[in-house]
Structure 1
Amino acid sequence: MQHEPGALLYDPATDKVGEYQDRSGPYAMLRPLGGGREWQADPAALRPATERERLHASVRAVNSRARTDGPFMVGLRRPPEPAPDCAECGELAAARESARAAHDHSAETDANVLLRSHQRQQHPTA
């Protein structure tokens, strides 16, 4: 099967989705989404990536970029501080700390967003 450059293909040997680059001898050359080192794959084993596999590979690429693009993170707001004596603020701050300890950056961000929203609604002068 002939693949077009840029096609997203699933490689069962590596259990990864890659962007088809070209052929190199008997191999297909794939590159991870978002860039990275190419790898050789058996062209007969490749198949088009499913929507779920494409989404997983895209999220992985975005997360990788977020971890490595430190200079772009300069100027981000500091995490919100919970209001004293507010049980809901305390719960959201605790959820944020649990997510941070588990290295779950998505849940940590969600907790910060919910805490800011709660503070705007319940503590507008804080």
Structure 2
Amino acid sequence: MSPKPATYDPGTALYDPATDRVGEYRGQAGARAMLRPLGGGREWEAEPGSLRPATDRERLSASVRAANERTLATPPGPGDVSRPPEPVEGCPTCLWLADRRVAARASFDHSAVTDANVLMREHQRKEHDG
């Protein structure tokens, strides 16, 4: 008589050696265990007797993989960075950032000048469509 497979609580992260993946235990479907990828996705069936709790390293690796897969959008390119962005006329945020840049230049704080340029480009992408 074979030993009875361990029972797990729903949500437990388990390693499935047959697929070499870590999944969240969802429950039983007949004689099979149902696992779902960490972070969501399509469930799969696994042999309950072969499952074991995932190690910290396996859980972390699976979580990072899931986060990377969720990152589908590529951020927009910075555009022409050879010239500093110009403030949009009448926009108080653009004018405030331009003033910060002028003050940073006056104090020879090149890092703050770059910060102001980056923040202005980001603001203009979000608020002024480019």
Partner of 2:22: 17
Deviations 1:1-60 (A, max 9, x none): 110000000000000000000100010000001111100000100000001100100000
Q: Partners in 1 of 2:49 and 2:23 — Cα distance? A: 15
* RMSD over aligned Cα atoms: 2.9
Q: Partners in 1 of 2:41 and 2:116 — Cα distance? A: 47
Aligned identity (percent) is 51
Larger radius of gyration: 2
SS in 2 for 1:44: helix
Partner of 2:9: 4
Q: Partners in 1 of 2:49 and 2:57 — Cα distance? A: 22
Q: Partners in 1 of 2:49 and 2:116 — Cα distance? A: 64
Alignment of 1:47-126 (within 5 A): 47-67=52-72, 70=73, 78=78, 81=81, 120=111
SS in 2 for 1:55: helix
1:79, CA displacement in angstroms?
7.4
Stretches of 4+ aligned residues off by more than 2 angstroms: 76-83, 121-126
TM-score, reference length from structure 2 = 0.56
1:124, CA displacement in angstroms?
7.6
Q: Partners in 2 of 1:124 and 1:34 — Cα distance? A: 34
Unaligned runs of 5+ in 2: 1-5, 84-109, 118-130
Partner of 1:97: none
Q: Partners in 2 of 1:6 and 1:38 — Cα distance? A: 13
Q: Whose helix proportion is higher, 1 or 2?
A: 1
Unaligned runs of 5+ in 1: 84-118
